[in-house]
Structure 1
Amino acid sequence: MIWFLEGQASQRDIILGAIEALPSSVQVLASHRQDRPEITGVAHLSFVEPEDRSERIEWIIRTSLGHSVKVVLAGRVGGAYEAHRAEFEAAGLTLVTGGVSTRTFDLVDDKARFTAEAKRVGLPCIPAITVKTAAELRAAYDAFSPSGEVCIKPVVGIYGQGFWRFKEGVDPFRCFAHPDARQVEFETYHRIFDATPAREPMLIMPYLPGSECSVDMVCEAGKVVAFVGRRKVDVHQTFERFSPATDLAIAAAEHFGCDGIVNVQTRDDASGNPHLLEINPRYSGGIGYTRETGINLPGIFATRRLGLPKPSQKWISGVRVKAISVAVAVPS
């Protein structure tokens, strides 16, 4: 048995990929804190997780033992589960959190520490300055802006929340009228930033003009065993393997001790050279797209962790995909 705890909406893709690869005799369990039958309903058994985190740990262990679960994958807040690894191991359970220790999460969740560590070991990374005050914000902007466009994002965050590009000459109201464009004039942002004295730390960095590569991968104790790179090209996504971007992503995942189904993001500079953006020690929202390449990453993860033959891999080149919304009937 294998259990996939609450994750992003792509938890559904993870479950389906695992079921496809596993023998019919192996059951897949899934759970979520919310009523999400469109996700958990595709598993053999599904549960609603307790809201209280401390109660949740004990409940997961007890339920796992009651259903002969061998492997538990944390789909989100892996660091919180990592802190309880000893409890899972004492119960004979294999816990997969995204990292091999709390050090992984300490380094990758704090983007300032992540950037400093990547630079220390020679992994190409976008330089960044941490700011907490309006004065620090202006000083950092002045340091980077002579060389080109500048951007800002939270030190800790997901889903691109809080990311903005400083674009001179745009309508100051654009950030309100078209927030998805993520463009704002620096002086407008600075005035708003300065309006409240206490701010969470933010990172200022150059904005690289090249495309991003999002690399989904399966890792085992700091070793990458399977991967697929994705790029957004207009409204489509394309795929790649054994490219400079995927090579860099693999090196980063292995250095930071990733373990499980994780995602590493890079961005190219004007010359096409990749630089690290971040490591997400969890599966990405778009991991389901990678199935179209002939590589079943969730299936590879599940079979290897359970000691079963992994699914065949036959890379299909030249694939393009486009996400569409599909209605799914769910039980009331």
Structure 2
Amino acid sequence: MIWFLEGQASQRDILLGAREALPAHIRITASHRSDRPEITGLADIALQEPADSDERIPWVIHTAVARGVQVVVAGRLGALYEAHRADFNAAGLTLVTGGLSPHTFACVDDKATFTAMAHAAGLACIPATTVTSSEQLQAAYQACRASGEVCVKPVVGIYGQGFWRLREGLDPYRCFANPDAREVDFATYLRAYAAQPEREPLLVMPYLPGPECSVDMVCEAGRVVAYVGRRKSGAHQRFERDTAATGLAIAAAEHFHCDGIVNVQTRDDIDGQPRLLEINPRYSGGIGYTRMTGINLAGIFATRRLGLPEPAGHWIDAVRVKPITVAVLAQG
């Protein structure tokens, strides 16, 4: 039996992929701390996790042992579970967190540390300066601006929260009128940043004009066994394999010893060359789209972890996917 703990909303897609690949007699457990039957209802066994983090670890271990679970897959809280790997091992459980030690999470969750280590490893990445004050921000901006447009983002964060493109000559009100554009003039941003004497660390870096490539992959002890790259193209997503971007993503995941279903993001520079953005040691929000290519990443992951034959992959070229919103009956 395999148990998928609370993850992103794409936990539903992970369950669909796993169920498609696993034999009918293999039971799947899914859980979430909130009442999310539209997600957990796809599993054979649906559970609700304790809200308190201190209670969650012993509850997961006890429940897994009692129900005969073999593999426990962390979702959003990989670092928390990784810190208790010894407890899972002692209980005879295989724990999958996205990494193999707390060191992996310390390296990839802090984007300043990640950038420095990636650069030292010879992985093409975006140079960045860490700032913690308005004076440092202004100095870093002026230095970076000399070579082109500038952007900023928090040292720690997900979903692109806190990312802003700093553009000269913009109407200062634009960031309020159209916040989804993530564009603001530097003077406005600096005034807001300087309103408090202390801020969380921020990265200042060149803004790359090229498209992003999000590479979803299955890793085992620092080795990539399956992957699909995808790029947004207007309202659609397109997919790729064996490109410079996917090659860079694979090299990064293997260098940082990823383990599980993870996501690596790159962005092309002005010359069309990919640069490493970040590693997310968990499955992405868009991983469900990749099944349309004929590669079932969740199914490959689940079968291999349970020692079962993995589903055959048949890559389909020129696939284009458009996400839509549908209503799901939430029972229970």
Amino acid corresponding to residue 87 of structure 2 in structure 1? E
CA shift, 1:310, in A, is 0.1
Counterpart in the other structure of 1:279: 279
Superposed, 1:195-214 pairs within 5 Å as 195-214=195-214
State the secondary structure of the residue aligned to 2:325.
coil
Amino acid corresponding to residue 192 of structure 1 in structure 2? A
d(CA) in 1 for partners of 2:131, 2:32:
36
Counterpart in the other structure of 1:188: 188
Cα-to-partner distance string for 1:175-207 (whole Å, 9 max, x where unaligned): 111110000000000001001111000000000
d(CA) in 2 for partners of 1:304, 1:85:
20
CA shift, 1:232, in A, is 0.4
Counterpart in the other structure of 1:241: 241
d(CA) in 2 for partners of 1:60, 1:181:
41
What TM-score, normalized to structure 2? 0.99
Amino acid corresponding to residue 167 of structure 1 in structure 2? R
Gaps of 5+ in 1: none
Aligned: 1:64 with 2:64: yes
d(CA) in 2 for partners of 1:34, 1:48:
7
d(CA) in 2 for partners of 1:155, 1:288:
28
d(CA) in 2 for partners of 1:269, 1:35:
42
State the secondary structure of the residue aligned to 2:324.
coil
How many aligned residue pairs are there? 332
CA shift, 1:236, in A, is 0.6
CA shift, 1:219, in A, is 0.2
Counterpart in the other structure of 2:171: 171
d(CA) in 1 for partners of 2:179, 2:98:
31
Gaps of 5+ in 2: none
Runs of 4+ in 1 over 4 A off after TM superposition: none
CA shift, 1:328, in A, is 0.6
CA shift, 1:321, in A, is 0.4
Aligned: 1:311 with 2:311: yes
d(CA) in 1 for partners of 2:101, 2:2:
21
Counterpart in the other structure of 1:157: 157
State the secondary structure of the residue aligned to 2:125.
coil
Aligned: 1:105 with 2:102: no
Amino acid corresponding to residue 259 of structure 1 in structure 2? D
Amino acid corresponding to residue 111 of structure 1 in structure 2? K
Counterpart in the other structure of 1:16: 16
Counterpart in the other structure of 2:45: 45
Superposed, 1:135-146 pairs within 5 Å as 135-146=135-146
State the secondary structure of the residue aligned to 1:115.
helix
Amino acid corresponding to residue 326 of structure 1 in structure 2? V
d(CA) in 1 for partners of 2:250, 2:101:
18
Cα-to-partner distance string for 1:219-243 (whole Å, 9 max, x where unaligned): 0000000000000011110000010
d(CA) in 2 for partners of 1:39, 1:174:
37
Amino acid corresponding to residue 242 of structure 2 in structure 1? F
State the secondary structure of the residue aligned to 2:16.
helix
CA shift, 1:146, in A, is 1.2
Aligned: 1:298 with 2:298: yes
Counterpart in the other structure of 1:30: 30
State the secondary structure of the residue aligned to 2:146.
helix
Amino acid corresponding to residue 137 of structure 1 in structure 2? L
Cα-to-partner distance string for 1:240-280 (whole Å, 9 max, x where unaligned): 00100000000000000100000000000111100000000
Aligned: 1:325 with 2:325: yes
d(CA) in 2 for partners of 1:87, 1:100:
14
Superposed, 1:246-261 pairs within 5 Å as 246-261=246-261
State the secondary structure of the residue aligned to 2:267.
strand
CA shift, 1:3, in A, is 0.2
Amino acid corresponding to residue 116 of structure 2 in structure 1? A
Using the aligned pairs only, state the percent identity.
69
State the secondary structure of the residue aligned to 2:226.
strand
Amino acid corresponding to residue 207 of structure 2 in structure 1? Y
What TM-score, normalized to structure 1? 0.99
d(CA) in 1 for partners of 2:318, 2:272:
20
CA shift, 1:122, in A, is 0.4
Aligned: 1:88 with 2:54: no
CA shift, 1:63, in A, is 0.6
Structural RMSD (CA) = 0.5
Amino acid corresponding to residue 20 of structure 1 in structure 2? E
CA shift, 1:133, in A, is 0.3
d(CA) in 1 for partners of 2:196, 2:228:
42
CA shift, 1:284, in A, is 0.1
State the secondary structure of the residue aligned to 2:276.
strand
d(CA) in 1 for partners of 2:130, 2:271:
26
State the secondary structure of the residue aligned to 1:258.
coil
CA shift, 1:77, in A, is 1.8
Counterpart in the other structure of 1:220: 220
